[in-house]
């Protein structure tokens, strides 16, 4: 289906650019979100055309698994492979040091496992995701086991954050992750030291993982529209 929505066009272009970088005979981490969905679609199309052979995907979520099956990408698990060649995943914010906030789709725990195992981690974003400082536009997602929600929210407030439990859309009650946990989104006025904050939050009892990805991304592909034409730049 063709679209005139510039954000969708940027997502499609950058998804295609990432899919073009996948090589035959490789193990591919399949990220989550609307941008990575295009990469999964294009990887599947390259497989169908015979441009790519012998690919196996490691999904980062139920969504990625469903899409991979839809587009004919064979799947495996981390129990069956010793490494991942390339992972492709989206992000909610990217700073100038290639540090990320992820978790807009509540999949950041599995994403961090898969993305950080990859020999090359390619991030796919539209230009609206680039920020000078993490936390400027997006709340930081924190996955928490259900019985620890209140104490973790209290600790996040003590750290200076404003936490809120993520609620479902078209579902009464909170968002439940693929692991059966809950997500607290936290507004920090300023994230000055993402590496330290990542560790501090992960040290809170009951926290499974937060959405700060520090020093994990190798390549950022950014979809842009310049003079009305879509293009992709690499950072
Ligand atoms: C899911 C994620 C996504 O990669 C992130 O939210 C970006 O999504 P989209 O490409 O739909 O903007 O981290 O947990």
Where in the chain is CATH 3.30.70.260? 140-208
For residue 167, pLDDT over 80 is answered with yes
What per-residue confidence (pLDDT) applies to 76?
98
Prediction pTM value:
0.97
User: What's the mean pLDDT in 13-24?
Assistant: 98
Q: Is 111 a catalytic residue?
A: yes
Average pLDDT, the chain: 97
User: What's the mean pLDDT in 182-199?
Assistant: 97
Please report which confidence band the pLDDT of residue 170 belongs to, taking 50, 70 and 90 as the band edges.
very high
93 CB within 6 A, ligand 1: no
E-state strands within the chain: 26-30, 55-59, 84-89, 93-94, 100-101, 118-126, 140-144, 162-165, 182-187, 207-210, 212-213, 219-226, 229-234
What per-residue confidence (pLDDT) applies to 2?
80
Share of the chain above pLDDT 70, in %: 100
Where in the chain is CATH 3.40.50.1360? 6-130+215-234
Model pLDDT for residues 81-126, shown as the tens digit of each residue: 999 999 999 999 999 999 999 999 999 999 999 999 999 999 999 9
Ligand 1, atom nearest to 37 Cα:
10
**Regarding the domain delimited by 6-130+215-234, which CATH topology (the fold level of the hierarchy) does it fall under?**
Rossmann fold (3.40.50)
**Regarding the domain delimited by 140-208, which CATH topology (the fold level of the hierarchy) does it fall under?**
Alpha-Beta Plaits (3.30.70)
For residue 202, pLDDT over 70 is answered with yes
- Give the residue whose CA is nearest to atom 5 of ligand 1: 91
Residue 60, annotated ligand binder? no
């Amino acid at each position: 289906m063709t679209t005139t929505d510039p954000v969708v066009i940027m997502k499609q272009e950058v998804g295609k650019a990432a899919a073009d970088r996948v090589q035959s005979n490789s193990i591919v981490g399949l990220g989550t979100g609307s941008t990575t969905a295009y990469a999964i679609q294009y990887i599947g199309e390259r497989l169908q055309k015979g441009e790519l052979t012998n690919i196996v995907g490691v999904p980062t979520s139920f969504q990625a698994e469903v899409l991979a099956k839809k587009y004919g990408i064979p799947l495996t698990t981390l129990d069956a492979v010793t490494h991942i060649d390339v992972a492709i995943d989206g992000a909610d914010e990217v700073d100038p040091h290639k540090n990320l906030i992820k978790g807009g789709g509540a999949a950041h725990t599995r994403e961090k496992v898969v993305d950080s195992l990859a020999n090359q981690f390619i991030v796919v974003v539209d230009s609206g995701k680039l920020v000078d400082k993490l936390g400027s536009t997006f709340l930081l997602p924190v996955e928490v086991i259900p019985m620890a929600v209140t104490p973790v929210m209290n600790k996040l407030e003590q750290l200076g954050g404003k936490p809120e439990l993520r609620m479902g859309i078209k579902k009464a009650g909170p968002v439940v992750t693929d692991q059966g946990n809950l997500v607290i989104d936290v507004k920090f006025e300023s994230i000055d030291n993402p590496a330290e904050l990542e560790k501090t939050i992960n040290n809170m009892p009951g926290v499974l993982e937060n959405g700060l990805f520090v020093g994990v991304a190798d390549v950022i592909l950014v979809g842009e529209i310049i003079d009305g034409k879509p293009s992709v730049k690499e950072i």
